[in-house]
Structure 1
Amino acid sequence: MVSKKIHKNYMARELYRKEEVICGNISEYRGWIKLSKFCLELILSEIDNVNTRTELIFVLEKKFKLGIWNKLIDDLIYINYLSDTEVDFKIEKITFDITSKCNLNCKHCSGMFTKKSLGNLNKLLIFEIFKWAEYNNVKYVCISGGEPFIRKDIFEILNYAKNIYTGEIEVITNATLINSCDFDNIVNNIDILNISLDGYDVFSVNKIRGLGVYEKVLDVINKLKQKNFLKLKLSMVKAYGNENHISDFLKLCSFLQVEPVIRDLIYAGRANRNNLSELETLIHNSVLDESNINMRCVCKSGINSLYISHDGKIYPCSTMYNLKNSFMQLSELLSDNCKSRLFLEPIVDHIESCKYCDVRYFCCNTCPSVNLSLYKNEKIVKMICDKNKKTLENIIWNKPSI
């Protein structure tokens, strides 16, 4: 963060009802404040004329001696509605798909990747990405797909990257295409191998990923450990009932001595087609109370991280690949033309039935990709509104304002 004069945060938002307003930050979990429109308008009218918190409080007290300004300004700074620092748009992590092809056909895939998928990211462009990452001191690059090991030039790519890039290289894989002749190349060119399993035993993995995957993954892990390759992760997406067996998955990871990674299901691609009823059940069973609601409805992807798809389009993160329009093209990134282009906006501000609702930021998921899946479906939107709106109104608007 860079020091700056006090200002309204770029992620600060308001919700209005008559003469009251709720202020918060849509990328933070720090709560919200309800105050009068008069107080907020006065703060915003004076903030451009001062440099510091102390100056702002002094000016406000001089105009209206209400005895509230010191605490109110501190509270607005705490929830990051007001800020005296500037966001540092330094990319520290890049994830990119080197292919859209995959040898498996997993039910929960947020893409529609198959062996017949068309896209490979051009090898020379991949080299340019690593050059850019090294030049810009990017700490971490993650290679994904599709299935990265479906490419015959995968180790040519990894060897080039390891020779010119000094940050960490992680590869996400299903591990089923890794052969005995590949282990030395993995040890020499990859810092972290992240293997997708999505189950906790042979039966649960068969259900989602297919026959033979569980045995193959365990064999790869054991053989890599024999080579003293220890930076191994094993991941599971919560889907098809395995969310009730997280403890079993963690036990498996502990037994294998690998780092566990648990991911939420993204309702896009095959996952959207295969899991819509599950999504409806999730909404139906959700329970809202004051302890678990907040204004956070976007994440911070795009500020310090970005995702490059196999076709050279750039998004804040990989889960947003299903957007019709990308945020920028790879050529723009490589020419260093990417400042402030990856801001995420709350989807509810663009949904006709939601954009004037005075609790709209409170009913969103914190993951923009999940919100895309929810709010593009009119039936789901109505379910969310019918279930949550009155509860949210009672919690949020029935408190006294400042």
Structure 2
Amino acid sequence: MIHKQEEVDIEKRYCMPRNLVEKEIGNKILIISVDNANWIVLDNDIQKKIFYRLKEESIKEVIEYINVNNIEEKELINVLTQLEAKKFEDMNVSCSQKQGMCIYLTNECNLRCKHCYMFAGVKNEDELTTNEIYKLLGDFSNSGGKVVTFTGGEVTQRNDLYKILEFSKAKGLLNTVLTNGVKWSKDLIELSYKFIDEIQISIDGYDEKSNSNIRGRGNFEKSLNTAEEFFNKGVRVSIAVTPLYEGLNQNKDKYIQFGKHLIKKYSDGQFHLKFNYKLLRGREVDLNKEENDEYFKIMHEIVNKCYINSEKKDFVINHRDNTILNNCGYGEITVAANGDIYFCNRIYELKSYGNIRNLDFDKVMELSKKAQLLSNINNFKPCCDCELKYICGGGCRISNFPELIQINNFKCNIDPKSFKPRKCDQELKQKYYNLMIDTNEQFFK
């Protein structure tokens, strides 16, 4: 029996979410609460009957029901445990999207990587000055901005880098820096590290030879040394690995060995190894869909060998505390090196909304909010009618809904539901159903 001294008051009546979807997955029953991206997993029809009774009756009344029908108490305890631990009836949700901004400090780069989707190398004409960047950061902070990502080109090509980072930190912003890691002298690291919250260093090979095929000779050890210097300073370090497609399948075991080595080496601090799952069109790279699908599968295998159960762990992190995925990040402000404004960092595929030199920042924020609203998952088919919409999130907007690429103003009425629907199949949905079942108990901890 469940007694009154238990943590849950037996007089309690649940106020269940209204938008519930039931799915039978193998020998399990998923009850999905669509609007708060929550779910419980039931083992049998008895637990299902108990759940639906709890929608209408108090716990005390359900206890009487199971007693009269000689139902084991554990069946009720299983359901109650999930309802309480997962806060199933709590409709207060948080969104994964943060108020961030990405600034391309320069298009100048000391490398000529084959897969560079920025085609970086030569400095753009009329790049933003130090003072213009200061003003941009100040306006962003005053508008409630929280996080800034500084990228390029190569950020160390700017002599004012550490001053920009210092100014940004003084404005209360969290600074992430993306770099190839080659040109960080000890002096520059010493000047900058206290203003950097996370540094992401791109190393695309597993040794000098494989890395030099992508990033040029003599850069592998330099980048690794930069990662170690920042790690030893207490800065969170990410190493981003984006191999080329050619030869990847034959060399995947070497990437796995390299990845495991790094994870073991930096296991006692803030470190993340990031393998990219897709190759965008770049300087010497332009994969077709079939090649990118194959690339994804190989990279997925590499990641799962480096980080055991990585997909499940990431899924749990992304969905804790009633977090809904209603966007991919589209709508966050991206500023090109020359001041042009975009709302996705894949700027070579998009049209500019204007230039920071000519737009009042309040107007930029207004456009950003409009872009975020436009790209909300509820505006796209078939996602808007899917029970997994806030769990899946719909993926990359410009990849799955390429009509967004053509938009560079909001003066006309735009109906995303008129866009070509995203391609989604049962296999993709099944993946999420399986993740929900396999990780369910991890949400109790």
TM-score range, shorter chain: 0.5 to 0.7
Look up the match of 2:3: none
- Amino acid of the structure 2 residue aligned with 1:308: T
CA offset digits 1:153-196 (Å, max 9, x no partner) = 3233223334x323432322112233454233224543443322
Does 2:282 match 1:270? yes
> What is the aligned partner in structure 1 of residue 372 from structure 2?
342
1-structure distance, mates of 2:428, 2:176: 42
CA distance in 2, matches of 1:367, 1:121: 34
Aligned counterpart in structure 1 of residue 292 of structure 2, from 271, 274, 279? 279
Q: Tell me the residue number matched to 1:175.
A: 181
- 1:29 is displaced (CA, Å) by 7.3
> Counterpart in 2 of 1:159?
166
What is the TM-score of this pair, normalised by structure 1? 0.58
Which structure is higher in strand share? Answer: 1
Which amino acid in structure 1 is aligned with residue 92 of structure 2? T
Distance 1:141 1:389 in 2: 32
> Match of 1:239, SS?
coil
- Do the aligned residues in 2 keep the contact of 1:148 with 1:154 (CA within 8 Å)? yes
**Cα distance in 2, alignment partners of residues 391 and 232 from structure 1:** 35
Q: Percent identity?
A: 17
Q: Deviations along 1:59-101, whole A, 9 cap, x unmatched?
A: xxxxxxxxxxxxx9xx99999998632657995x524123351
What are the superposed Cα offsets for residues 119-174 of structure 1, whole Å, 9 maximum, x if unpaired? 73454442234324544665543322232122233233223334x32343232211
> What secondary structure does 2:233 align onto?
coil
**DSSP-derived class of the 1:195 partner:** strand
Q: d(CA) in 2 for partners of 1:253 and 1:119?
A: 41
Q: Which residue of 2 aligns with 1:69?
A: none
1:152–1:275 distance in 2 versus 1, CA, 3 Å: farther
Task: Give structure 2 stretches of 5+ with no counterpart.
Answer: 1-14, 23-30, 43-53, 58-78, 302-310, 404-421, 435-445
- Residue 25 of structure 2 is matched in structure 1 by none
Asked if structure 2 preserves the Cα contact closer than 8 Å seen for 1:143 and 1:171, the reply is yes
Provide the secondary structure at the position in 2 that maps to 1:177. Answer: coil
TM-superposition CA deviations, 1:277-334 (whole Å, max 9, x none): 43232578999xxx999xx9x945578993423144253x635873447699772366
1:229 is aligned with what amino acid? K
| 127 and 101 in structure 1: CA distance in 2 versus 1, 3 angstrom threshold | same
CA distance in 2, matches of 1:175, 1:216: 7
Q: CA offset at residue 210 of structure 1?
A: 2.2
Residues 1:82 and 1:337: Cα distance change in structure 2 (over 3 Å): farther
Alignment match of 1:249 (pick from 241, 246, 259): 259
Q: Counterpart in 2 of 1:309?
A: 335
Tell me which amino acid in the other structure corresponds to 1:281: E
Residue 239 (structure 2) pairs with residue 235 (structure 1):
yes
* TM-aligned CA distance change 1:277 to 1:108, over 3 Å: farther
Q: Which letter maps to 1:322?
A: E
Retained in 1: the 8 A contact 2:106–2:154? yes
CA contact (8 A) 1:200 1:252 kept: no
Closer, same or farther in 2 for the Cα pair 1:246/1:137, shift >3 Å? farther
- The residue number in structure 2 matching 1:368 is 395
Aligned to 1:318: 345
8 Å contact 1:89–1:340 — kept in the other structure? no
State how far apart, in whole Å, the 1-side matches of 2:133 and 2:117 are. 23
Task: Supply the distance in 2 between the matched residues of 1:239 and 1:365 (Cα, whole angstroms).
Answer: 26
Whole-Å separation in 2 of the counterparts to 1:336 and 1:178: 37
Give the deviation of 1:115 after TM superposition. Answer: 2.3
What amino acid does structure 2 have at the position aligned with 1:106?
Answer: C
Distance of aligned partners of 1:233 and 1:204 in 2 relative to their CA distance in 1, 3 Å threshold = farther
Cα displacement (A) at 1:262: 0.9
2-structure distance, mates of 1:180, 1:115: 26
Provide the secondary structure at the position in 2 that maps to 1:131: helix
Q: Residues 254 and 130 of structure 1: is their aligned pair in 2 closer, same or farther, counting only changes over 3 Å?
A: farther
* Number of positions where the alignment pairs a residue of Structure 1 with one of Structure 2: 349
Rounded to whole Å, the distance in 2 between the matches of 1:284 and 1:158 is 37
Are the structure 2 counterparts of residues 110 and 77 from structure 1 closer, same or farther at C-alpha, using a change threshold of 3 Å?
A: farther
Q: Given that residues 27 and 300 in structure 1 are in contact (C-alpha distance below 8 angstroms), is that contact kept between their aligned partners in structure 2?
A: no
Q: TM-score when scaled to structure 2?
A: 0.53
8 Å CA contact 2:104, 2:151 repeated in 1: yes
Kept in 1: contact 2:108–2:122 (CA 8 A): yes
Question: 2:326–2:389: 8 Å Cα contact kept in structure 1?
Answer: no
1:31 to 1:174, Cα distance in 2 relative to 1, 3 A: farther
Change (3 A) 1:112 1:265: farther
Cα gap change, 1:307 to 1:254, in 2 (>3 Å): farther
